[in-house]
Amino acid sequence: MNKPNEHKKKISQKTWKIKLGRMMANRNITYKQLVQWLDLHADVKTSEATLNKIVTKSEFPKREKTREAVKRGLERYAIENGLVTESNVYQIYLDDPHSNAVTTGSQWKHSNKTRRLIIGHEDSINGHIVFETPEAKMLTPRARQHFKVLSDPWDNEIYSIDHVYLGTQQRYVIESIINCAKVGTLMAIVGECGSGKTVMMNFTIEEIRAKHPNIRVIRPARIDKKQIASNTISEAICRELNISKLPRSSEDRDAIIREELTRSCNAGNRHILLIDEGHRLDEETIKQLKVLWELSEGFTKLIGICIIGQTELDKVLNSMNVREFAYRVNKLQVPPLGTELKEYIDHKLKAANLVPEKVIEPAAIEKMQQALRGIRKFGRTTGRPDEMVDMSYPLNVNTLMKNLMNEAADVGEERITAELAEEYVRV
35-54 pLDDT per residue, tens: 988 988 888 999 999 999 99
Band (1; pLDDT cuts 50, 70, 90): very low
pLDDT of residue 267: 93
For the ranges 134-138, 192-196, 361-365, which has the lowest average pLDDT? 134-138
Residue 118, pLDDT above cutoff 60: no
Give the integer Cα–Cα distance in Å for 315 and 278.
11
Q: What kind and span of H or E run contains 370?
A: helix 362-371
Task: Report percent pLDDT > 90 for the chain.
Answer: 47
Band (242; pLDDT cuts 50, 70, 90): confident
Residue range 203-230, pLDDT digits in tens: 999 999 999 999 999 998 766 666 676 6
Residue 101, pLDDT above cutoff 50: yes
Residue 110, pLDDT above cutoff 70: no
pLDDT of residue 131: 81
Residue 270, pLDDT above cutoff 90: yes
User: Among the residues of 212-339, which ranges form H helices?
Assistant: 230-240, 250-266, 283-293, 312-317, 323-326
pLDDT of residue 427: 44
Question: How many residues belong to the chain?
Answer: 427
Judge contact between 173 and 334, C-beta under 8 A: yes
Give the integer Cα–Cα distance in Å for 189 and 206.
18
> What phi and psi, each to the nearest 5 degrees, are found at residue 37?
-65, -45
Band (320; pLDDT cuts 50, 70, 90): low
Q: Average pLDDT for residues 343-371, to the nearest whole number?
A: 94
pLDDT of residue 245: 75
User: Among the residues of 42-86, which ranges form H helices?
Assistant: 48-57, 64-80
Q: Average pLDDT for residues 101-125, to the nearest whole number?
A: 58
Give the integer Cα–Cα distance in Å for 87 and 78.
11
Tell me how far CA of residue 387 lies from CA of 196, 326, 373, 375, in angstroms.
24, 28, 10, 6
Q: Average pLDDT for residues 100-107, to the nearest whole number?
A: 64
**What residue type is 46 in one-letter code?**
T
Please give the mean pLDDT across all residues of the chain: 85
pLDDT of residue 125: 64
Q: Average pLDDT for residues 127-155, to the nearest whole number?
A: 85
Q: Average pLDDT for residues 299-311, to the nearest whole number?
A: 92
pLDDT of residue 2: 47
User: Bridge-partner residues for 274, per DSSP?
Assistant: 306
Judge contact between 193 and 312, C-beta under 8 A: no
pLDDT of residue 225: 60
Cβ neighbours of residue 307 closer than 8 Å, sequence gap 6 or more: 187, 188, 189, 275, 278, 281, 289, 313, 329
Band (119; pLDDT cuts 50, 70, 90): low
Q: Average pLDDT for residues 148-173, to the nearest whole number?
A: 84
Domains of the chain: 6-126 (no CATH), 128-153+352-422 (no CATH), 161-333 (3.40.50.300)
**What residue type is 113 in one-letter code?**
K
